Amino acid sequence: MASDQRPTYTTIYETVRGVGNLLAPEDFTYLTEIPQDAPPSQLVIHLSCMAHYTPHIPILAEKILRKLDLDCVIVGGPENCCGELHKHFNEHDLERQLAKSAMMGFRRAKPRKVLSICPDCDDVFRSHGSERQPYEHTNISNLFIEYLPALKPMMRPLNMRVVPHYHTISEYRQADADNMLAILRAIPGLQILEAHHALGPGVHCQTLHPMPAADQERMFSEARELGADALVVPYHSCYRQHCKMQLKHGVPVHHMFNLLAMSLEIPFTESFKEMRLLDDVDLAVKALKPRIERHGYDESVVRAQIARAIFC
Amino acid sequence: MNDMADKWIKVGPVAQFDNGTHKILVGRRFVVMTKLKGRLFAFDAFCPHVQGPMDRAEIEGAIVSCPLHAWRFDLENEGKELHGYRGIAVHDVRINDGDVFLALSS
């Protein structure tokens, strides 16, 4: 039953749905359920719950895959939650049921690989996977490494100096960090600065266990002193926590796909960042008001959701 | 009471359902009974999406949300799902002489 003491599943998932709809481009589509008779798709991009707040990230992933002539389908919404939320609430039977139902759903596309954007999803799906699983579940950065030789000839020089932010708590996160570095090193003209305070805590930066403010301050101070044009992050959650630091330090935060897209001349807009840099919930609500009205949302409900999702 | 003999199934004394949420087996069907806004409701015990356990639903007024993916069902509106997904079966409830009877919907 619902409790007043903590956010409920419903509160969290409704925020994902509501804010996700407000921040996504009008023409952005994804599947919440793959139809039983769906045509095969060699790749499934799993749009994790919280990645709905940063829609440009899955959109760029799809556009980069299209550039490689790879067919893919984006599957998302709370309907495909990996179960991490329930794991956090110690509802492990529900976590298992969620993970299994999502994985059964992916099978309908008969994919070669299911690609995670989120490291939590990576870990949860891995823990519930089986040897009989007919597809490989992997972080999307592994696929970009696989196709880096094909991407390189399409890249245009990027004259930027960047500090990579990373996580190394497990072999999987270390692999993601290595992949990000390899991708960045492949971009001509990009200068990777040597920083000493860019290591993030835990699996990823996030609202529940964020990078401590003092560490975050040190990371951005160093990036500014090094003359960085950007701090590059591997995960949507790091992007969400750190975006606001541009206001104080003047160093923009970019997801690694942003730089890849810039180099591949794929245009994009960052709706989350645009709202976050307004630095004011009321201004964000005002900016989103036409879309709030178009969707028929209750503004007071949406305001609380925006505060929770963007200004946490 | 003749029609009650045809389709109505006695599930227990009304006092049994005064508080909380109860998952019961009616015939071969699991049903959740709960009193919301002073009215006793009966609905399928498994979400039509992927069989989420509706006896653990989050409740707001007469809206019950599946604890798996928060599909939200309006029990006062025939179990309609608020996002436009498939609805949940809501069963008719009658109280007669202190006992609760259900008519299972298809």
Chain centroid to Cα A256, Å, comes to: 10
A189: CATH: 3.40.50
Cβ–Cβ contact B91 with A under 8 A? no
Q: Is the pLDDT of residue A3 over 60?
A: no
Taking CB atoms and an 8 Å limit, are A17 and B83 in contact across chains?
yes
Residue A46 included in any domain: yes
Whether residues A247 and A302 share a domain: the answer is: no
As a 3-state breakdown, chain B gives helix, strand, coil percent values, each rounded to 5, of: 15, 45, 40
What residues of chain B, 35 to 74, have a C-beta less than 8 Å from chain A? 49-50, 52-53, 56-60, 65, 67-70, 72
Residue-wise pLDDT tens digits, A19-53:
999 999 999 999 999 999 999 999 999 999 999 99
The answer on A17 and A71 residing in a single domain is yes
What are the chain A neighbours of B49 within 8 Å (beta carbons)? 79
Residue corresponding to tokens 């007669």: B96
pLDDT at A312: 83
Asked if residue A140 and residue A169 are part of one domain, the reply reads no
A125 and A258 in one domain? no
Q: Is residue A268 part of a domain?
A: no
Residue of A288 and A5 predicted with greater confidence = A288
Q: Is residue A248 part of a domain?
A: yes
The CATH architecture that domain B2-103 belongs to is: 3-layer Sandwich (2.102)
- Domain shared by A251 and A211, yes or no: yes
- The answer, yes or no, to whether residue A113 has pLDDT greater than 80, is yes
CB B59 within 8 A of CB B39: no
| Domain spans in chain B, listed from the N-terminal domain onward | 2-103
Does A28 reside within a domain?
A: yes
One domain for residues A47 and A171: no
A125 and A218 both lie in a single domain? no
Chain A residues within 8 A of B54 when measuring between CB atoms: none
Judge whether residue A207 has pLDDT over 80: no
DSSP state of A32: S
Q: List the single residue in A9, A91, A97 with the smallest CB-CB distance to B70.
A: A9
Q: Are residues A220 and A281 in the same domain?
A: no
Residue reference for tokens 């995670």: A116
What pLDDT sits at residue B4?
55
Given a cut of 70, whether residue A2 has pLDDT beyond it is no
Q: Residue B1: is its pLDDT beyond 50?
A: no
Same domain? A29 vs A145:
yes
Asked if residues A282 and A84 have their Cβ atoms less than 8 Å apart, the reply is no
Q: How do residues B58-77 score in pLDDT, each as one tens digit? A: 999 999 999 999 999 999 99
- What A2-6 contacts at long range (C-beta under 8 Å, 24+ apart), as own/partner pairs, is A2/B58, A2/B59, A2/B60, A6/A89
Does residue A3 lie within any of the structural domains? Answer: no
In this prediction, residue A7 carries a pLDDT of 82
Query: Which of B53, B60, B69 minimises the CB distance to A81?
Result: B69
At a CB cut-off of 8 Å and minimum separation 6, what does A33 contact? Answer: A79, A105
DSSP H stretches of helix in chain A: 9-23, 56-67, 84-88, 92-107, 119-128, 140-146, 148-151, 171-186, 213-225, 236-242, 245-249, 256-263, 271-276, 281-295, 299-309
ipTM for this model: 0.88
pLDDT tens per residue, range B15-74: 999 999 999 999 999 999 999 999 999 999 999 999 999 999 999 999 999 999 999 999
**Residue A130 pLDDT grade (very low, low, confident, very high; cuts 50, 70, 90):** confident
Same domain flag for A197 and A125:
no
> Number of folded domains in chain A?
2
Segment A177-204, tens digit of pLDDT: 999 999 999 999 999 999 999 999 999 9
Q: Domain check: are A130 and A209 in the same one?
A: no
Residue A160 sits in the same domain as residue A142: no
Question: Which range of residues forms the domain containing residue A211?
Answer: 155-263
CB atoms within 10 A of CB B72: 21
Residue A269 lies in a domain: no
Q: What pTM did the predictor assign? A: 0.92
